[in-house]
Structures are given as C-alpha cells and as structure tokens.
Amino acid sequence: MKKYLQKLAEAESLTLEEMMEAAEYLFSPNITEAEIAAFLMGIKAKGETTEEMTGLASVLRNRAMKIQHAPVGVMDNCGTGGDGSHSFNISTTAAFVIAGAGIPVAKHGNRSVSSRTGSADVLEHLGVSLELHSAQMEEILMENEIAFLFAPKIHPSLKRIMKVRNDLKIPTIFNLIGPLTNPVNLDTQLVGTYRRDMLEKMAMALHQLGRRRGITVNGSGFMDEASLAGENHMVLLDEGELIPFTLQPEETGLPMYDNTDIIGGDASDNAKILLDVLKGRNGAYRDTVLLNAGIGIFANGKAGTIQEGIHLATESIDSGAALSKLEYLIDYSAKSDRKVI
C-alpha cells in the first residue's frame, strides 16, 4: 500500500489496475486503520477518477455475496447520500414505485452514514428483514421483482472500512461508489450524487461496469436526488454515449416545492412518509417520488420520456401496485422470522 499512498500524496491518480490492486490491500487483515484513513483522504484530496471508482467497485463486487439469479432487465436506483439535505428516503420510496411499474429492482442500501436515516433504517422499521441470505434475496427478486440488498450483509469485507468512515464523518470515495457495488448484474441504473462535478465520471463508470443504460443526477440544491425546487443536472448513458441535460420543474407537469418541504426525520417519521406516499397521499413527498421514479423508469428505457415515466409512476401508486411490493417484503420477512424461531 505504501507506493500507492506515496502516489496519492503527490496528487497522482491511480490506473484501473493500480486501484484494483490497492483495493485488495485495503481489505487485507494486515492493513491498519491509519492506512485506510490515509488512503481515503488521499483519494478525496486529489479528486476521484472514473478508473478509481470502477476499480474499487469491481473489487468490492468480486468480494460480495453472490446473487446469481435475477429477472431480465433488473435495475437499481441507489443514491450516494452525503448531500446534507435531511430529506426523507426518496429513492427507497421511488424503488417500490418503479417496481410497481413493472421494472425489477435490486435495491442496494445501507444504514445512515452521513444522513439521519438510511434506507435500511426505514425498511427495518417497517418490518423488512435485513438478515436474509442470498437464496432468499434471489427468491424475493424473482417473485416480487424488488428485493432489498443490505450492504453490510452483501459486503462483509467492508466492516473495518465502515468503522473508519464513521470515524472520519465526511463523504469519501465509498459514498460515490456505494451505488456501483451492487452485486447483481444490473442492466440499467439511476444514480443520484451530491457531487455535480462527478456526473459524467459516474456515468462512464456505469458504462465500464456493464450498464446498458443509466442516468446520473444531481438535483437542485446539490441534492443526490432530483428536486422540484429548481434546475436538475443529469447525464444519460445510452449504449456507451454520454448525454448531459438539465430538467426544470415546469417541464415535468408537477408543482414546484422548496427543498425544505421534503425534509424527513428519524426512521419512524420516514417510514410514515413512505407509507403515506405509497397509499396515495398527495403533496410534496408524493410529487418528489413521482419525479424520481419517473426518471428511473426513463433511465430503464420503459418510458420514452421522463414525463411518460412520471405517468407510469402515478399509475403504479394509484393502482396499489407499489404498495403491494412493500407488503410482500414485510410478509416474507415475518414468515422468515417465524421459521428462524
């Protein structure tokens, strides 16, 4: 690891091969926490490259729990976190809406690292098990077309890294590559990031990881979700081509809201918001979910435009399809717990 720390100290980027070798050292039992912290800070201070993100994500995926069977056309809509917006769990709620629109979703997520409530926190509060093994996740994904992949369960080698990240208390390259480490061979993906300067680099990383199509988004106010408060910046990946574009709230057919209108709370608060949205309650929370689910459906290619995606997202909620996806997960988890007892 020393040669890579020296290279980072001189503000030199690592090649894809160097990053993959460094990542193997990073997960070695012999590495110290000081070396881990120095490596993370060296990458952050220099600035992350596409090759570094792809290399680290590839090593993590190789070390992850294997999810062998997944439906055709499966996607994820995991964001990076780290935007400091204190919003409710937008992408988690939108995942059920996307699945309710007929698109399989392997929802990758974690507990809160830099925000108040992570996807795992809110789903656990709702009764979704975080302790399912790979065969159960595959069964749920094939039958329900949405499963939750709890990052610490999927990535056991990250335990020491998580401790260092929690001690640092600032976003690192692991925040950026979190959405890229889904062990399922995704066809398409929607990635929200708090870093507007990383949109094209992350879209290219999606391409290098084998995604056919995807969108990276940085919302108004530098949220890691699309927002109805103002201009959203995005990059569409389509068969290897990168297409930057912007989206204004008035183009969506949805009302405008300030970002303060979509602030969430603790796991209990956000669980209630999620359920309210899936049960059809109108307002800023629902419309923000419709926007993000609509973008996800467009990213997948099921909709030809974001506006069409929003229409399909609306049908997913109003038909009860989105809620039924969550209810399946809760019921399956309850039955699984009873089997363990």
Binding residues for 5-phospho-alpha-D-ribose 1-diphosphate: 79, 82-83, 87, 89-92, 107-115, 119
Q: Is 139 exposed, middle or buried (0-12, 13-18, 19+ CB in 10 A)?
A: middle
Binding residues: 79, 82-83, 87, 89-92, 107-115, 119, 165, 224-225
Report d(CA 196, CA 337) in Å as an integer: 42
User: Hey, what amino acid is at 266?
Assistant: D
Total residue length of the chain: 341
Report d(CA 149, CA 155) in Å as an integer: 10
The position carrying tokens 């809760």 is 330
Q: For the CA atoms of the chain, what is the radius of gyration?
A: 19
Q: Is 110 exposed, middle or buried (0-12, 13-18, 19+ CB in 10 A)?
A: buried
Binding residues for Mg(2+): 91, 224-225
Residues 6+ apart with CB under 8 A from 56: 19, 20, 23, 173, 174, 177
Binding residues for anthranilate: 79, 110, 165
